[in-house]
Amino acid sequence: MNIEKFHESMYKLIVETSTKLPKDVRRAIKRAKEQENAGTRSAMSLATITNNIKMADDNVSPICQDTGLPTFKIKVPVGANQIEMKKAIYEAIALATKDGKLRPNSVDSLTGENSGDNLGGGTPVIKFEQWEKDYIDARLILKGGGCENKNIQYSLPCELEGLGRAGRDLDGIRKCIMHSVYQAQGQGCSAGFIGVGIGGDRSSGYDLAKEQLFRSNDDVNPNEDLRKLEEYVIANANKLGIGTMGFGGETTLLGCKVGVMNRIPASFFVSIAYNCWAFRRLGVNVNPATGEIQDWFYQEGENVDFAEQEKKQAEAEIAASVEATDAPSSQEAITLTAPITEEQIRHLKVGDVVKISGRMYTGRDAIHKYLMDNDAPVDLDGHVIYHCGPVMLKDEDGNWHVKAAGPTTSIREEPYQGDIMKKFGIRAVIGKGGMGAKTLAALKEHGGVYLNAIGGAAQYYAECVKSVDGVDLMNFGIPEAMWHLQVEGFTAVVTMDSHGNSLHDDVEKSSLEKLAQFKEPVFK
């Protein structure tokens, strides 16, 4: 094999996977957008998502800033040199990271040190399999941390909230899958896709579940029982009313694929791998002699071109959403300029759409832990903390530029957030998926607000960043550092206000009530 050509092919695969959604995923998002009721928060979110997809296409930049843990599944003919292929993939990963197509995501589990190039013990994941065909089948999935954290595994029999007992049969499996969608809520950037693995042991069950995510969303399961189960889940999970970003709405799940393997008598596992709407999964057919790409997978069927009109439609949906939620102005979102006063915050209520301009600071897991025990490197009084780990590139003059900057899942900061807001006078927090009771109580006491940005819309929000004015605590690595961002027109939805109201609590309670309707047996 020409290993240099193979390296080029793997680099192309990485860049395409990070920046361009496959056709089957685009079609699923288009269908969801057409089904959503106009003027709702979910419609606004879907309009923003489709706009973001178009921007990523145009900019050849990451669709989502969290490019996850690259996982390769590669089938090779007899005689292929897997050692050399692995080296070439490592080099392609490092180069793609350097070029800003991947975020540096490989962190030492003991020290917290970021390798900076996505290489390290266990990263990336590369799984080889030998087969009898005469070409290389190389597939890649980039699955972010927000949806990875919503993976779940059930051991049957078990008791499930809202659904009762799930036994060791097809109906028990059905209940587990429905519960998995309910428990994810909007924290995994719904509307999403799920892969389900039935059987195996704890590790092989999860492997089987993730393997289902490599299937086309349009394929038909050859197992009749599993085909019926997949169709049932898609039809009924969308009746839970969780909706895009957990805002409520018509579409919660875009795809469900189920696989099965044997198990030992004592164990019965149902494993679910959850994936966000930004389903970055592509594959290539590679010539084993030349190392060149011969064909691309997941590109069959009609293409959906999210054209320039998506930007105008996104702006129209924002205005319609404001009108539908009875915000103070029926024509435009509420404009806030940081630093923000407590009085301004107290006037906001759940459902308001806001546009923020001025300074905001990024802060994720490492920053929140640091601020609990140390002074802040900047004055945060009246300011905004953005739960974001951006993709950053430095130019020849030493200036930093944002290449992707969507929100990360906020619930991880629940142990810290309320205390930090009160300690430093922070007035607003931006993230995705909402936060818990401790933060909600602090918002009410202190006069703060939680703003839900659109998960995965990394290009949309990167365009709102007009300059990078500084960075602190760079020792934590690029994703975890505190970046000083000057923003303009940064749009988000108030989902937790200073009056004790939480949209996330409301949607969770209503979806639990709806989940109970699926308690009775379906498959016998």
Let me know: does 193 contact 199? Beta carbons within 8 Å: no
Task: Provide the pLDDT for residue 306.
Answer: 74
CA angle 49, 51, 53 (to 5 degrees): 70
Instruction: Using pLDDT thresholds of 50, 70 and 90, give the confidence band for residue 58.
Output: very high
pLDDT in tens, 400-458: 999 999 999 999 999 999 999 999 999 999 999 999 999 999 999 999 999 999 999 99
Distance from the Cα of residue 136 to its chain's centroid? 29
Q: What mean pLDDT do residues 56-85 have? A: 96
Cβ contacts of 118 within 8 Å, gap of 6 or more: 70, 93, 94, 96, 97, 102, 104, 105, 106, 124
pLDDT, tens digit (0-9, with 9 covering 90-100), for 493-523: 999 999 999 999 999 999 999 999 999 999 8
Q: Do residues 304 and 332 share a domain?
A: no
pLDDT-above-70 percentage for the chain: 95
**394 in a domain, yes or no?**
yes
- The answer to whether residue 109 is domain-embedded is yes
Same structural domain for residues 296 and 348?
A: no
CATH number of the structural domain spanning residue 395: 3.20.130.10
Same-domain check for residues 196 and 240: yes
Q: Is 78 exposed, middle or buried (0-12, 13-18, 19+ CB in 10 A)?
A: exposed
Whether 278 and 355 share a structural domain:
no
SS (H, E, C) 290-354: CCCEEEEECCCCCCCCCCCHHHHHHHHHHHHHHHHCCCCCCCCCEEEECCCCHHHHHCCCCCCEE
User: Are residues 294 and 214 located together in one domain of the fold?
Assistant: yes
Name the helix (H) or strand (E) containing 55. helix 41-59
Which pair of tokens denotes residue 343?
């009085």
Encode pLDDT of 168-222 as tens digits.
999 999 999 999 999 999 898 999 999 999 999 999 999 999 999 999 999 999 9
Grade residue 328 by pLDDT with cuts at 50, 70 and 90: very low
What is the model's pLDDT at position 39?
A: 84
pLDDT tens for residues 257-268?
A: 999 999 999 999
| 81-119: pLDDT as tens digits | 999 999 999 999 999 999 999 999 999 999 999 999 999
Q: Are 259 and 229 in contact (CB under 8 A)?
A: no
237, 256 Cβ separation under 8 angstroms: yes
**SS3 label, residue 164:** strand
- Residue 254 parent element (H or E): strand 253-260
Burial class (CB in 10 A: 0-12, 13-18, 19+), 116: middle
**pLDDT computed for residue 331 by the predictor:** 39
Domain that holds residue 397: 325-507
Number of H helices, E strands in the chain: 15, 20
338 lies in a domain?
Answer: yes
Which of 478, 459, 465, 486 has the alpha carbon at shortest distance from 394? Answer: 478
Same domain, 378 and 237: no
pTM across the whole model:
0.92
Residue 492 has φ and ψ, to the nearest 5°, of: -155, 170
Asked whether residue 197 is assigned to any structural domain, the reply reads: yes
Q: Could you write out the DSSP letters of every residue in 176-222?
A: HHHHHHHHHTTTT-SSEEEEEEESS-HHHHHHHHHHHTTS-TT---S
pLDDT band at 318 (very low <50, low <70, confident <90, very high): low
pLDDT value at position 103? Answer: 97
| Cα–Cα separations (whole angstroms), residue 41 to 82, 83, 350, 386, 495 | 48, 49, 12, 20, 11
**Domain check: are 164 and 240 in the same one?**
yes
For residue 313, the model assigns a pLDDT of: 57
The whole-number average pLDDT for the span 47-71 is 95
Contact 263, 203 (CB under 8 A): no
Q: Are residues 492 and 401 in the same domain?
A: yes
Question: CA-to-CA distance for 501 and 176, rounded, in angstroms?
Answer: 30
Q: Which one-letter DSSP state was computed for residue 502?
A: B
The order of strands in the sheet holding 192-198 is 152-155, 269-275, 192-198, 253-260
Looking at the predicted structure, is the pLDDT value of residue 308 above 80?
no
What six digits make up the tokens of 329?
A: 């102005």
* Cα-Cα end-to-end distance for the chain: 53
Residue 360 placed within a domain: yes
Structurally, how many domains does the chain consist of? 2
CB 451 within 8 A of CB 493: yes
**Does any domain span residue 514?**
no
Both 123 and 195 in one domain: the answer is: yes
| Nearest partner of 152 among 108, 103, 187, 124, judged by Cα | 187
Does 165 share its domain with 128?
yes
Which percentage of the chain shows pLDDT scores above 90?
Answer: 91
pLDDT at 475 over 80: yes
